[in-house]
Copies of this chain bind each other. A is one copy, B any other.
Amino acid sequence: MPNHLDNQLCFLLYATSKEIIRQYTMLLKPYNLTYTGYIAILALEDDEQITVKELGKRLFLDSGTLTPVLKKLEATGYVLRERSKEDERQMQIYLTKAGIEVRQKLPEVSRRVMKQLNITEQQYMQLKYVLQDILQNDLPIKDEKLGK
């Protein structure tokens, strides 16, 4: 790999995540899940009702992306969407029994992908801590704009 992009951290993140997501996508197909649907299900606790906004915060996604994903998860039978009675603007999302069941099978998918990555425990930890650090430190800038 003899090109300038290898030195570009962003490109490495971009290319790596794309390729890993491609592997997830293949393994998730039997469950009728895309990667986005997968992380949405992972982000929901078994007996939890949360709003689209709260879910979006966990996933770093907005309603423009989430609404169609959640509608598809609902059509598949993994989640239910209900208008909140207290605040009709909000949509409450929660897992169905089928959603809870499929959720229990997902760690196996993740295990298979990670196995293919073939990285050491140390590399895994390094990546995890650095990325969590970037995500926490850098990204608040989005909402800060002019000192919110």
Contacts and interface: CB of A to CB of B under 8 A. Distances in A.
Contacts of A114: 9
A24 B10 CA distance: 9
A82 to B, nearest CB: 21
A4 B104 CA distance: 13
A124 B3 CA distance: 18
Interface residues of A, number: 53
A98 interface: no
Interface stretch (A11-19, A72-80, A87-95): A11-19
Given A13-B17, A127-B127, A8 B132 contact: no
Q: Which of A15, A21, A138 has the most CB of B within 10 A?
A: A15
Given A9-B20, A13-B20, 10 more contacts: A1-B132, A1-B135, A5-B42, A9-B131, A10-B21, A12-B127, A12-B128, A13-B13, A13-B131, A19-B142
Interface of A: 1, 3-22, 24, 35, 39, 42-43, 58-60, 110, 113-114, 116-119, 123-124, 126-128, 130-139, 141-142
11 contacts: A1-B58, A5-B39, A9-B127, A9-B131, A13-B17, A16-B131, A19-B139, A19-B142, A20-B138, A117-B134, A118-B138
